[in-house]
Structure 1
Amino acid sequence: MTGMWFGLAAIALAGAGALLYVDRTRRDQSGRVRQIWAKAQGYTYTGSDDQLAGEWHRAAMAKQDYLTATDVVRGTRRGEQFVLFDLEETATIVAVRREIGSDVDIDLRLKSTAPPKDGDLNLLGAIGPRVVFATDLEIARRVCDQRMVAFTESVPPALSMLWSEGRWTLGSLPVSSSGRDWDAAIEAVARLSGILHVLPPVTDPSELEVDHDPTRPRPRPDVSDAPAVSDSDAPVARDLPSAVRDVPRREAPDAPRREAPESQRREAPESQRRNAPAPAPTNTPKPGSGPQRSGTVRPVD
């Protein structure tokens, strides 16, 4: 009887070893397939990254920061950087990075998927075959236009969850996905990232305005509000260095006088006399005429 139990235990141990070997072989084969796919696309392949999973915390990445990202592929699609990796045996994640991040996060998932557990994500409603959650419903309502409707209807069903976090737009695939699924997933997440460019950018809390709508451009500053420059702001002589202030002013030298030729000097008096006006006649009183001063004695004939 004891020998039978030992035999069953040996069979179970051999079966477990065989399963581990098959799983290891499949994982290595999957890694080689992804490495070949990345090389053919011109992307960069890395076997594992211990810190990558801690970059995101929503949807499929919630409470998964302790896991190791394996078979990591990095590249550029539609002018934006992306990273694709396996979260061990949980899911395959595609993340596309935008140039400008946003404080508003959006979650699009299939109706058959459980709702997110994040407390700041609120239900907006259904759009196409998916349900939309957002941290700001008013802004998310503006984003969900006709482009978003067309996008949700064209997303591959393998992408069960799509969401955004800051500068990143992410999607989740089954681990058993193939190279064709990876291409379609990267394309879909990149399209969603382009749509989410309309989200308001991250702003400094000190620069927030109470009456400003973050989805609209800021008005240009009025030139009339610029501070006027007063006369007191103009530089004066006392502000200059003493070496410059004490320099004496130099007067321009007198221009040398040119003497006229001798012939002109001789003719000048005659022409001056000829052209000079005649002197005004002076009225000289005649003798014996005019008023007599009092007290004077006239001679007696």
Structure 2
Amino acid sequence: MTAMWFGLAAIALVGAGALLYIDHIQRQRVGRVRQIWAKAQGYTYTPLDPNLPSTWRRAALAKQDYLSAVDIVSGVRRGEQFFLFDLEETATIVAVRREIGSDVDIDLRLKSTPPPRDADLELLGGIGQRIMFATDLDIARRVCDQRMVTFTESLPPKLGMLWSEGMWTLGALPVATSGREWDTAIDAVARLSGMLHVLPPASGPHGLAQEGHDPGRPRPRSAEDASAQTVRVPAQGAAFQSGDNHAHQVRDVSQGDSRVMPPPRYPAPERARQQRPPAPQPPAPRRLPPDDWSTHDADPRR
């Protein structure tokens, strides 16, 4: 009986070793595929980074900082810095960095996905097949427009979660994905990152490009900008030289129009007098020939 249990344990140990070996071979194959994909795109490939997942703390990365990031690809795609890596065997993560961070975080996930574990995320509502959560519902409504509806309808089903943290916008995919799906996921997360620029900037040192400026509102003009955009309208009757037409351009700002209007052409006073048409002269009196005088001097009653 004891020999049978030892035999079963040995069989289980051999099976576990075989599964680990197959998983290691599969991981090496995936790593080679991703390395080739990164090299073809001009990105940087890193096999392992144990500290990268601790950069984020929400959604698929909540309480997962003990796991390592493997098969990491980093680079710049269409002007956006990004990371793509596997959270070991849990998920494939895409992270895109924004220029200006925000204190307002959002979470956009499929309706079939469990709600987030973060206590500060509140339910905002459904958008298509997705549900949005946010740390500030009033401010998060800024991004809930027709663009967001169109965006959620175009998302691939495998991109189950998207969320934002400070200066980062992230998305999660299943581990078994291909290079084409990586491209699609990076583009989708970058699109969401662009729409989140309407959120107010963070109060920290990396949030504000200018102190007190909200990217969702018009930027106030400084004194230098105001002086540089001062419009000088020529007085009535001012003269323009023919060679200075481009130096005296006037902007029509009465209705907020910024188009460049051609300069008016006012003739100089002397030139105006020279170009004035001559005054009409009265007709000269008609002179009759001498033979007709007798006729006109005669009495009209004859």
**Conserved 8 A contact 2:197-2:215:** no
Find out whether 1:137 has 2:137 as its counterpart. yes
**Conserved 8 A contact 1:139-1:215:** no
SS at match of 1:118: coil
**Match of 2:195, as an amino acid?**
I
SS at match of 1:171: strand
SS at match of 2:123: strand
Q: Please name the residue that 1:297 is paired with.
A: none
Distance apart, 1:77 and its partner CA: 1.4
**Match of 1:134, as an amino acid?**
A
**Distance between the aligned counterparts of 1:65 and 1:89, measured in 2?**
14
Distance apart, 1:92 and its partner CA: 0.6
Q: Please name the residue that 2:94 is paired with.
A: 94
**Match of 1:89, as an amino acid?**
E
Distance apart, 1:200 and its partner CA: 1.4
Find out whether 1:107 has 2:80 as its counterpart. no
Q: Deviations over 1:197-231 (max 9, x none)?
A: 111112369x998xx988433645789xxxxxxxx
Aligned residues: 221
Q: Please name the residue that 1:122 is paired with.
A: 122
Gaps spanning 5+ residues in structure 1: where?
224-301
**Match of 1:217, as an amino acid?**
P
CA-based RMSD of the aligned residues comes to 2.3
Distance apart, 1:193 and its partner CA: 0.7
**Match of 1:160, as an amino acid?**
G
SS at match of 2:17: helix
Q: Please name the residue that 1:75 is paired with.
A: 75
Q: Please name the residue that 1:47 is paired with.
A: 47
Q: Please name the residue that 2:193 is paired with.
A: 193
Give 4+ residue runs of structure 1 displaced > 6 Å after superposition: none
Gaps spanning 5+ residues in structure 2: where?
225-302
Q: Please name the residue that 2:245 is paired with.
A: none
**Conserved 8 A contact 1:78-1:190:** no
Identity of aligned residues (%): 75
Q: Map 1:1-301 to 2 at 5 A.
A: 1-203=1-203, 215-217=216-218, 219-220=220-221
Distance apart, 1:195 and its partner CA: 1.0
SS at match of 2:70: strand
**Distance between the aligned counterparts of 2:214 and 2:42, measured in 1?**
42
SS at match of 1:94: strand
**Match of 2:71, as an amino acid?**
D
**Distance between the aligned counterparts of 1:203 and 1:218, measured in 2?**
17
**Distance between the aligned counterparts of 1:43 and 1:204, measured in 2?**
30
**Distance between the aligned counterparts of 1:76 and 1:213, measured in 2?**
26
User: Which is greater in Rg?
Assistant: 1
**Distance between the aligned counterparts of 2:80 and 2:220, measured in 1?**
30
